[in-house]
């Protein structure tokens, strides 16, 4: 009977474009995705499912060795314990963003009345959907400028049984007669400057959408200004705004919020000790 360990060994040995540690992680992900085998199943050499359909390993290895993100190869990623479909049309959800979502869940956990939430630049829908799933009182809307991203986000919401309203809307062009107000406005906008892109890893640069990643060097805070302006009109008095940020612009982004009348502004660091997100309230 075919067992997991030899296949795992073969896959990790043939993922040659990455350091061995990363290649092994990827081999675990492949066995989990295709055969539902967890790390412990692989390490204890459990049998492979008897009626399995073998994926085209050669093709998969070839794509991985071309530095294509494994999330594109398998078509999904895990975010806050939920499985999201991803594609080259959306940013692959990152662990840093999980921290932001956990902060919001913590802040609103005790609310018993409805909590209207807006996610600006929703992409795969990971923030909006996770909040809708785990915060029972949330009433979540997700905006994006990309209709293909919204189609994917909608599909994720359906698979994950999350109630989110997705709308095509550019934060740089909100209609002047827009009236809704939110207790929570959250955004992980594009924040990598074009000059930083020059030193980015190929697997991000070649495969992830520029629209979700990059901003012009001459106005790198354009989206934060728009989000903060929007909040001055559409955040409730006791509401809070949460944004993921570029580590180089912690102070400058904080300033954007204080310039617009926010008085309570906190910068949070990521696990690497870098400024990664901001919570701002009035
Ligand atoms: N953290 C992402 C990266 O460095 C960028 C996310 C974003 O632009 N919002 O790849």
What residue owns the CA closest to ligand 1's atom 6?
A: 213
Residue 126 maps to a domain:
yes
Question: pLDDT band for position 267 (50/70/90)?
Answer: very high
Q: Which of 70, 140, 127, 119 lies closest to 98 in space, CA to CA?
A: 127
CA of 33: how far to CAs of 71, 75, 83, 251, in Å? Answer: 10, 10, 10, 41
- Examine the domain organization and report whether 14 and 104 are in the same domain: no
> How many angstroms is it from 79 CA to the middle of ligand 1?
15
**pLDDT tens digits along 200-219:** 888 898 999 999 999 999 99
**Can you tell me whether residue 160 is helix, strand or coil?**
coil
- Examine the domain organization and report whether 128 and 231 are in the same domain: yes
Which atom of ligand 1 sits closest to the CA of residue 96?
A: 1
- Mean pLDDT computed over 220-236: 98
CATH number of the domain to which 250 belongs: 3.40.50.150
Which atom of ligand 1 sits closest to the CA of residue 214?
A: 8
Q: What percent of the chain has pLDDT over 90?
A: 96
- Examine the domain organization and report whether 128 and 165 are in the same domain: yes
Helices within the chain (DSSP H only) = 4-14, 20-35, 39-43, 57-65, 70-74, 95-108, 126-134, 147-159, 194-197, 202-205, 210-213, 222-234, 250-259
**pLDDT tens digits along 10-37:** 999 999 999 999 999 999 999 999 999 9
- What domain count does the chain have? 2
247: DSSP letter: G
User: Domain range for residue 53?
Assistant: 4-66
């Amino acid at each position: 009977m075919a067992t997991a360990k030899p296949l795992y060994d073969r896959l990790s040995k043939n993922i040659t474009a990455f350091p061995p540690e990363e290649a092994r992680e990827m081999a675990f992900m492949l066995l989990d995705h295709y055969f539902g085998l967890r790390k412990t199943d692989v390490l204890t050499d459990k049998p492979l499912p008897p009626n399995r359909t073998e994926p085209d390993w050669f093709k998969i290895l070839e794509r991985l060795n071309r530095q294509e993100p494994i999330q594109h190869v398998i078509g999904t990623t895990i975010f806050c314990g939920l499985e999201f479909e991803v594609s080259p049309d959306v940013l692959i959800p990152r662990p840093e963003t999980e921290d932001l979502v956990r902060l919001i869940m913590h802040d609103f956990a005790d609310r018993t009345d409805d909590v209207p939430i807006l996610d600006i630049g929703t992409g795969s829908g990971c923030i909006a959907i996770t909040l809708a799933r785990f915060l029972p009182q949330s009433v979540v809307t997700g905006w994006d400028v990309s209709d293909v991203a919204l189609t994917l986000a909608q599909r994720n919401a359906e698979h994950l049984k999350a109630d989110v309203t997705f709308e095509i809307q550019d934060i740089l062009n909100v209609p002047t007669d827009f009236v809704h107000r939110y207790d929570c406005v959250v955004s992980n906008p594009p924040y990598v400057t074009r000059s930083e892109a020059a030193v980015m890893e190929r697997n991000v640069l070649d495969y992830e959408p520029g629209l979700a990643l990059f901003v012009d060097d001459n106005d790198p805070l354009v989206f934060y200004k728009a989000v903060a302006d929007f909040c001055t009109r559409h955040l409730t008095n006791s509401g809070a705004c949460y944004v993921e940020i570029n580590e180089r612009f912690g102070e400058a982004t904080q300033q954007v919020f204080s310039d617009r009348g926010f008085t309570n502004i906190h910068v949070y660091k990521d696990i690497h000790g870098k400024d990664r997100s901001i919570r701002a309230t009035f």
